[in-house]
Amino acid sequence: MSSKVKGLSLFALTMIAIGSTIGSGVFKTPTDIAQSVPSVTWMTILWVAGGLVSMIGALVFAELGTKISNAGGVYSYLRETMGELPAFLYGWCLLTVVSSGTIAALIVVFADYMQKFFNYSDSMIPVVAGVSIFVLTLFNTFSLKASEWFANIATILKMIGIFGVIIILLFLGNDASSSGAVMPIVDSGEFNWAKAFVGVLWSYTGWHYASFVSGDAKNPQRDVPLAMIIGTLVVTVIYVLCNLGYTHVLSISEIQNTKTLAADAMEKVWTGSGIWVSILIALSVFGCAGLYILATPRIIQQMSKEGVFFQTFAKAHPKFGVPFNAIVMQSIWAIILVFVWGKFESLYTYVTITEWFFLLMTAIGFVVWVFVKKRTEWNGRAYLFTALALIFASVVTWFIVANAKSDDPAAYYGLLVIPIGAVLYGIMKKFA
């Protein structure tokens, strides 16, 4: 008999929803978004729209989570609703695109912000990022307790940094509207809503990790959806306020041409604060990258144990008990991605398109689960969540197709990994 007691409260679930969503995006992506939309007003509307799309998706996932309580989140949902192949492809892309790419993107942010303190050249950023991933890998492999403590401290620093930036920029900063903050950003013929939405959805990605713990909630049918709603609302408010703070003290041209947005905005208000804000943000994203290095390989290990993924990743380190092969492979690929893509925008584009493809597949899987497999009674609740799943799927389909047709290879290279995974799956099953 399991000794685990279900007991996650609404507050705990809400904190998970918030903490798993807020990462590096709000400190970096407004720069890229500002280059693709016509005004500050539209920037704000995009952040609200991203929160709404995330909330709809979170509600669908929360409903799935109350019915499929197996470990693994998206992997479990896909395997149960769509079959073994989609579940394998999710694990394959988690290893080669989503998690490794997220680690690479976060560490590039770390290197960008630390550059303000150590003043090294741009050519050193990939080197600093690669070394940092190596150090984090060792840290999370051989000192799990220390990595847990560091992750907790990094989360606290992240929240201090975010609320500090909001308060100081909005209430102590001088209005920069005279320098162009409320003027059109780009020529009307150059609007690119889909491209701008990549940065928005990258920043909101993480809400689905909260649905992974629905099986441990006291009252999952009530608390999980409510936590998703409250958490997404809180994150949306934080993101909108942060962007209002940036546009309050910086001109549009300044927002478009900075690598360290939050630090530059703070420097405008409080001379000398930019360096310390850079360190605070760098440490927070460093810890966030460590969480991915620590957590994601365990999903890969679980999949391998269940026979859905390569058996070599099922093995644990004989002394430390960690999924060593998965950790090492993930980190090696993350370092390669740093040198292949180099820029933060390319890395998060590479990740976001692919990750949201699998969120789309999960929403479609929900419809299949309800309508085709008829695994739940047709009632008002089923109609409501099916409608939400279809709305979510429609928006995400537009987002993926619009970006995949662009001339940015980062927008579709991640998707090209999927057919490669399908071939590997066929080989694996043939020789199993």
State which amino acid sits at residue 373.
K
Domain presence at residue 49:
yes
Domain presence at residue 1:
no
Quote the pLDDT of residue 212: 62
Quote the pLDDT of residue 190: 61
Q: Which of 72-86, 220-234, 249-263, 305-319 has the lowest mean pLDDT?
A: 220-234
Residue 5 has pLDDT above 50, yes or no: no
Give the 3-state secondary structure percentages of the chain, helix then strand then coil, rounded to 5. 80, 0, 20
pLDDT in tens, 179-200: 444 444 454 446 788 999 999 9
Residue 398 has pLDDT above 70, yes or no: yes
Domain presence at residue 401:
yes
Residue carrying structure tokens 């600093």: 128
Q: Are 207 and 13 in contact (CB under 8 A)?
A: no
Length of the chain in residues, anyone? Answer: 432
Domain count of the chain?
1
Domain presence at residue 231:
yes
Q: Is 217 helix (H, G, I), strand (E, B) or coil?
A: strand
Task: Report the b/e string of 320-334 with b at 16+ CB within 10 A.
Answer: eebbbbbbebbbebb
Domain presence at residue 73:
yes
Domain presence at residue 4:
no
pLDDT in tens, 217-248: 777 767 877 877 888 888 899 999 999 999 88
**DSSP for 325-353?**
HHHHHHHHHHHHHHHHH-SHHHHHHHHHH
Can you give the residue range of the structural domain that contains 370?
10-430
Quote the pLDDT of residue 182: 44
Task: Give CA–CA dist 338/55, Å, rounded.
Answer: 31
Q: What is the CATH number of the domain that holds 224?
A: 1.20.1740.10
Domain presence at residue 3:
no
Give the whole-number percent of the chain exceeding pLDDT 90: 37
Degrees (nearest 5) of the Cα angle 352, 357, 360?
A: 125
What's the Cα-to-Cα distance from 175 to each of 27, 124, 307, 366, rounded to whole Å? 20, 35, 59, 47
Q: pTM for this structure?
A: 0.88
Task: Give CA–CA dist 86/98, Å, rounded.
Answer: 15
Give the whole-number percent of the chain exceeding pLDDT 70: 88
Domain presence at residue 5:
no
Q: Is 117 exposed, middle or buried (0-12, 13-18, 19+ CB in 10 A)?
A: middle
Q: Are 103 and 330 in contact (CB under 8 A)?
A: yes
Please write down the long-range contacts of 368-376, taking CB distance under 8 Å and 24 or more positions apart: 368/81, 368/82, 369/64, 369/67, 369/80, 369/81, 373/81, 375/67, 376/67
Neighbours of 408 (CB within 10 A): 16
